[in-house]
Amino acid sequence: MRSIDFRVPAVAGFAILLLAFAPGAKAAEVQDIQFVAGTGEASTAGPIALARNTDDSRDAETKLNDMADDLADPRVQNGVAAMAERIGETMLDLPVGKFVAAIEKARPGTMKKRIREDATVADLAGRDAEHLPRELGKGSRQMMTMLSGFASAFATMMPEFEQMGRDLERSMKDIKAARD
């Protein structure tokens, strides 16, 4: 079971969550993520946990860089774009007219506009609806390119995140010691 130690800064935790849900992540691995409360002591958690060890830091950097490569891969982007386009087409074909009629029947006056019982989402979306699936595909490619850049940036900044985490932990220990 993989663990994520949340004693590191939230941004680094976010990066690890991105890693867990990356296109290359296996569904079984994602289901096995276990969130572990921080104790202020060094973690002995699984392979994804960010410990203070530089080998773990390099491992996290490597995984983030691998994720960045996956997200930037045109084959992966095209696969996600095709799926987004297909989902968009399917959504546009959903019949909504009968639902609208049922709502109007249950609560008369709710619908300001008369909608045919055979109407689909595309009918309600208007004349430009046919372009929406293609735009979803295009947008997914752009989003994945941006996420690739974010993952690369997180990998580059990992040592700074770890130092921030150490500084924060030291500050918290100092605050706790001052109270005692």
Query: Could you give the percent of the chain with pLDDT greater than 70?
Result: 68
The pLDDT of residue 11 is above 90: no
> What amino acid is encoded at 24 in this protein?
G
Angle between helices 132-179 and 54-72 in degrees, nearest 10: 170
* Mean pLDDT along residues 61-88: 91
pLDDT at residue 162, rounded to an integer = 86
CA distance 140 to 115: 32
pLDDT at residue 168, rounded to an integer = 93
* Mean pLDDT along residues 77-102: 91
DSSP state of 95: B
**Residue 44 near residue 11 (C-beta atoms within 8 A):** no
Weakest mean pLDDT among 10-14, 72-76, 116-120: 10-14
The pLDDT of residue 29 is above 60: no
Mean pLDDT of the chain: 76
